[in-house]
Chain A
Amino acid sequence: DAKTTQPTSMDCAEGRAANLPCNHSTISGNEYVYWYRQIHSQGPQYIIHGLKNNETNEMASLIITEDRKSSTLILPHATLRDTAVYYCIVRSAYSGAGSYQLTFGKGTKLSVIP
């Protein structure tokens, strides 16, 4: 029962911005949006997370719509090393049963093209 919907795959030209969308229309007020990525044959890697406000770190920016029903992960200058599967995950901000696990969907396979 994945809470997010992502496109199966996307291509992006090297050096251009990669914009990865995610729908989470049933998100509740106490749930964060997390993004992880998984490069082939490696474990998932945390990218960024947010609750309501847009967030930026050294890897990416996260834009969350005002109604919080969707978000976009932005890689400002994609490189070949950004080729990976990107997972959008919603997760409760509170402790308690069921809140400790990340529920991964199938993610978006991003291919950065030279």
Chain B
Amino acid sequence: DTGVSQNPRHKITKRGQNVTFRCDPISEHNRLYWYRQTLGQGPEFLTYFQNEAQLEKSRLLSDRFSAERPKGSFSTLEIQRTEQGDSAMYLCASSLGLADHGELFFGEGSRLTVL
């Protein structure tokens, strides 16, 4: 069990550029989640996948954001035309879905700074 892996750990970009984050969940976990966390706040839910299906999206996920999980393994979160307000830590989590959803395992996060 190598844990949830996220890359890159840090990304600095200029406003208007596109960025992509990758998440590799724990291998047998069928559920994958993306959260966003700004300074001083708790994480906020963005989206949820069960296998390759994206089952839930938050209103926070504007049309500039897109997430995929091809083949139900790793996932990517892309932000197009970044804005300064997108600066945050983007957290990925995975779980083995059982009756009560199970414990979520979080990665270390990808920190985005938009200049």
Q: What residues make up the interface of A, taking CB atoms closer than 8 Å to B?
A: 32, 36, 41-46, 49, 85, 87, 91, 93, 95, 97-107
Q: Is the CB of A102 within 8 A of B41?
A: no
Cross-interface CB contact of A93 among B35, B55, B100, cutoff 8 Å:
B100
Given the complex, which residues of A lie within 8 Å of B25, measured CB to CB?
none
CA distance A93 to B101 in the complex (A): 8
**How many Å lie between the Cα of A109 and that of B33 in the bound state?**
24
Q: Is the beta-carbon distance between A100 and B106 smaller than 8 angstroms?
A: no
How far does the Cβ of B82 sit from chain A's closest Cβ, in whole Å? Answer: 22
Chain B residues with Cβ under 8 A from A45's Cβ?
106
Assess A101 versus B4: contact at CB under 8 Å? Given A44-B91, A46-B103, A106-B40: no
**B93: Cβ under 8 A from any A Cβ:** yes
* B8 CB to nearest A CB, Å: 15
In the bound complex, do residue B42 and residue A100 qualify as a contact, i.e. CB atoms below 8 Å apart? no
A/B interface sample: 7 pairs, CB < 8 A: A43-B4, A43-B106, A44-B91, A46-B104, A85-B42, A100-B55, A105-B42
The reply to whether the CB of B65 lies closer than 8 angstroms to some CB of chain A is no
Cβ-closest 4 pairs across A and B? A104-B42, A43-B106, A101-B45, A46-B103
Partner of B108, one of A36, A43, A87, A105: A43
Given A43-B4, A43-B93: A100 in contact with B101 (beta carbons within 8 A): yes
Interfacial residues of chain B within 84-111, with CB under 8 A of chain A in the complex? 91, 93, 99-101, 103-109
B21 interfacial by beta-carbon distance below 8 Å: no
Identify A100's interface contact among B41, B43, B48, B108, CB under 8 A.
Answer: B48
Q: Are A44 and B106 in contact (CB under 8 A)?
A: yes
Q: A residues within 8 A CB of B35?
A: 102
Complex: how many Å from CA A81 to CA B42?
20
Instruction: Report the Cα distance A80→B4, complex, angstroms.
Output: 25
Across the interface, B44 reaches (CB within 8 A) one of A97, A99, A104, namely A104
| Residue from the list A41, A43, A106 in contact with B41, Cβ < 8 A | A106
Q: Which residues of A contact B93 (CB under 8 A)?
A: 43-44
- Shortest distance between the CB of A69 and any CB in chain B (Å): 21
A74 to B40: give the CA distance in the assembly, Å.
24
Q: Which of B70-93 contact A (CB under 8 A)?
A: 91, 93
